[in-house]
Structure 1
Amino acid sequence: MTNTSAFDAPLTIDADAVLVVIDVQKGFEDYAFWGTRDNPEAELRIAELTDAWQATGRPIVVVQHASQAGPLVPGTPGYELKDAVAGVAADLHITKPVNSAFYGTPDLHAWLQQRGARQVVIIGIMTNVCNETTARMAGNLGYDTVFPTDAMHTFDMTGPDGVTVPAAELARATGTVLHAMRFAKVVTTGDVLAAARADRPAVVGAS
């Protein structure tokens, strides 16, 4: 997990912090398949962060989930990226068949190590599935992991007891576990943007 002293320190965003944008795909708009979602402004927050990363020249990784069935099958409209990220110039594009972005192609961990990156900011879909799985692995691998929960969303899910848990409760539980167990710094988009501006030298001549 993330080093405790680093976890408790005030949020800073490295000049080379990597934004990992997970599964922002059109197939997640198939609500007949997925059900009810939370956080209708997630895509707006995602766009704010990708815009900030591109404006400051920080690296961006875009991840797409490739399913064998369902709305996220490669070659179908659902596999395509949503408009919020479709125009993003990614430094790395990963395709993954499972939940963690660290089990995709190309290898995310190897790419981060090659760059010497120590900090990752995770956003996208779904909060308590691919985002959480990736954050747990990032924490275990020693990365300073930042998790802005308003730049992601999930869906209602039904447990083995037949009880349906609302998406917002699942998202809150994810944030609680990641924070309490020191996997990631659970923050907001505003926190990240403020820290990114503070930690990035102003561009000479910029308005």
Structure 2
Amino acid sequence: NARIEYQLLATQKKLLEYSVKYNKWSYLPTVALNGAYNLNYFNNAFSRIYSNSFPNSFAALTLAFPIFQGGKRKANIRGAELEVERNGLDIVNLQNNLNAEFTQAMSFYKSYYQNYLALKDNLAVAQEVYDVIQLQYRSGIKAYLEVITAESDLRTSEINYYSAMYQVLASKIDVQKALGQITY
């Protein structure tokens, strides 16, 4: 899914799964190796301070066995597993919400598109009526008031047509947003 919300939850799920693994690894013994080597310089005369060196070094190996921690490890593991389960439910909830958003956006788009087609036909009819009445007015058959009324109806049809076109385009953007094709 291309939606950023879904990608965020998927990344969070990976992190929570790693947290479960980390908490399970707390049962394993740990081994640590440390070491250092140093040179110390001492002399009473400042000019010969680096003439005598006294090396020292150490090495340490630490082995730790976790024996008992009062059930804290089990609680941490169970808590991390519950977080993974909750994240899975959040993903399902998000998918349901995205599907509902897409369904609603598609429904609006189809409705607005049908309205657009009807208003497009209405505009063509209004233009035809205006042209006929204009021709009849020039021939002396119709009164000027009827021309004004037809022109007013034509302008109203144009406004409704452009409004419907805007609604179709806006609802198309909503569909694309629901599909994750548009990011802000």
TM-score after normalising by structure 2: 0.23
* Structure (1/2) with the larger strand percentage: 1
TM-score after normalising by structure 1: 0.21
* Structure (1/2) with the larger helix percentage: 2
Q: Which structure is higher in RCO with an 8 Å CA cutoff and minimum separation 6?
A: 1
